[in-house]
Amino acid sequence: MDPVEKAREALRAYPLCDSCLGRLFASMGHGIENKERGRALKTVLHMRLIYEYRYGSDVVEDLRALARVHQPTRRYLRANGIAVEEASCYICGGIMEDVEKYSEGVMKALEGLEINTFQIGSNIPKEVLDREREVIARLGLETAESIKHEVNRRIGRLVGERLGKPADKERPDVVATVDLTTGEVKVVQNPLLLYTSYIKLSRSVSQGKLVPGARKTIEEIIDHVRERFGGTALVLHAAGREDVDVRMLGNGRPAIIEVKKPRRYSGDLSGLRAAELILAPLKPATRNDVRELKAKSKTNIKVYRALALSDKPLTAGDLEKLKELEGVVVVQRTPRRIKRLSPRAKRRRMVYNVVGRLITNRVLELFVRCQGGLYVKEFINGDEGRTTPSVAEALGAKLDVVELDVLEVE
């Protein structure tokens, strides 16, 4: 395809500004803005048409068409007694001439935010988009770029220069959307996601919300992180969850902290220490990390320690029966203590290792290595037959779990 001849065809049918003409050939050439490309095409077409005109070709109508949107051609025709009025661009109606002016509104909307990256979006009038599609379809072009892309890029380039920050389509801190009809700018602040892990030392702290037996929640304790970044709220995404009376020990439970609408996207990434909880140092995370964290929580191997009270004396010989539970798939109906789930639902999880030792003949210490998602208390006490097999079933005893700790998330 000869882009100059195609430009000639386009301008016969439509008056187009430099940007809208150049955008029709956006994929031809690299490192050239559409406005430059359109201006260059008009200049070369101007030279070609004048050459043909001087040598007798009947190109007056093509010259008139070009003159509608090209001042040098209007001057040339005027000198030859032909007057042509300037026309507005058929596609954009002139909005592309100074689209960078909208960067002022973006900068004002971003005042008070300390960001690292941003993205520009835009709302283009429907009639403009319709006219652009019409022109591209009529000319049968496959080299065109969307006007929305150009608007976003041109505004984004100037905003980036003024902020000294890069535009980033993949992980922007904020998205500023410009309405080209009203000039209004709306800013969406993406949440700040921070990867961490926590060690819970208390048996009266719940993970996400207050439940019976809880004095406070993990989210309350780590709210200092929200304050560091000036957010409006904090949400904890953890790889699984422990009951309020269960300690989380070892290297801690992997988690991602979500700070909503932060005023600052950089800040103190150190962890924190409280009497009930230790939070590991923070590092940036993504939404995909949250999805992976949730998915892995169902397959991660976890190691538990439990103390159980037996209704009858046990012997070392009884503990040999625990080997029968290694490598088995445990089937569990929803525990009676969990009322929010269907009681008929069944869960299947693998138990890899079970080791026990007697503290007294009625107090049993157990170490269970299993697949994530196993209801460990019910695996030990059997939950009146709702979990099978179970430690209680193997030992032929009624067991009451008095302490449970997570020792490791592998």
Domain residue ranges of the chain, discontinuous segments joined by +: 3-79, 99-189, 192-296, 301-409
Structure tokens at 312: 């009858």
319 three-class SS:
helix
Domain 301-409 has CATH 3.30.70.3190: yes
Q: Which residues pair with 93 in a beta bridge?
A: none
Return phi, psi of residue 83, to 5°.
-95, 130
Q: Is 243 a catalytic residue?
A: yes
> Does residue 341 surpass a pLDDT of 80?
no
pLDDT at position 336 is: 87
User: Which band of pLDDT confidence, cut at 50, 70 and 90, is reported for residue 204?
Assistant: very high
**Domain pair 192-296 / 301-409, same fold:** yes
* Angle at alpha carbon of residue 347, lines to 362 and 242, rounded to 5°: 60
Q: What is the mean pLDDT of residues 3-17?
A: 96
Q: Is the peptide bond before 389 cis (omega within 30 degrees of 0)?
A: yes
Answer with the residue of higher pLDDT: 204 or 296.
204
Separation of alpha carbons 4 and 265, rounded Å: 48
pTM above threshold 0.95: no
For helices 60-67 and 71-79, angle between their N-to-C axes, nearest 10 degrees: 130
Read off the pLDDT of residues 386-399 as tens digits, 9 standing for 90 and up. Answer: 999 999 999 999 99
User: Which band of pLDDT confidence, cut at 50, 70 and 90, is reported for residue 344?
Assistant: confident
> Does residue 342 surpass a pLDDT of 90?
no
Q: How many CB atoms lie within 10 A of CB 138?
A: 12
Closest CA to 142 of 29, 8, 28: 28
- Note every long-range contact of 336-341, with CB atoms under 8 Å and residues 24 or more positions apart, other chains counting: 336/383, 336/384, 336/386
**Quick one: which H or E segment has residue 138?**
helix 126-139
Read off the pLDDT of residues 296-319 as tens digits, 9 standing for 90 and up. Answer: 888 889 999 999 999 999 999 999
List binding-site positions for substrate: 304, 375
Separation of alpha carbons 173 and 191, rounded Å: 8
Closest CA to 92 of 169, 150, 157, 167: 150
Closest CA to 5 of 29, 41, 59: 41
pLDDT at position 170 is: 83
Q: What is the mean pLDDT of residues 194-219?
A: 94
CATH number of 192-296: 3.30.70.2510
Q: What is the mean pLDDT of the chain?
A: 94
Q: Which amino acid is at 222?
A: I
Read off the pLDDT of residues 19-73 as tens digits, 9 standing for 90 and up. Answer: 999 999 999 878 899 999 999 999 999 999 999 999 989 999 999 999 999 999 9
Distances (CA, A) of 287 to 191, 257, 297: 9, 11, 16
Pairing of strands 216-217, 205-206: parallel
Read off the pLDDT of residues 127-177 as tens digits, 9 standing for 90 and up. Answer: 999 999 999 999 999 999 999 999 999 999 999 999 998 888 888 999 999
Q: Which amino acid is at 122?
A: S
Distances (CA, A) of 119 to 105, 191, 340: 14, 14, 41
The CATH architecture of the domain made up of 99-189 is 2-Layer Sandwich (3.30)
DSSP secondary structure, 267-311, as one string: -----EE-SSEEEPPPEE--HHHHHHHHHHTTT-EEEEEEEEEES
Of the candidates 243, 245, 268, 405, the residue annotated as catalytic is 243
For tokens 């200049």, the residue is 43
Distances (CA, A) of 234 to 192, 223, 316: 10, 7, 49
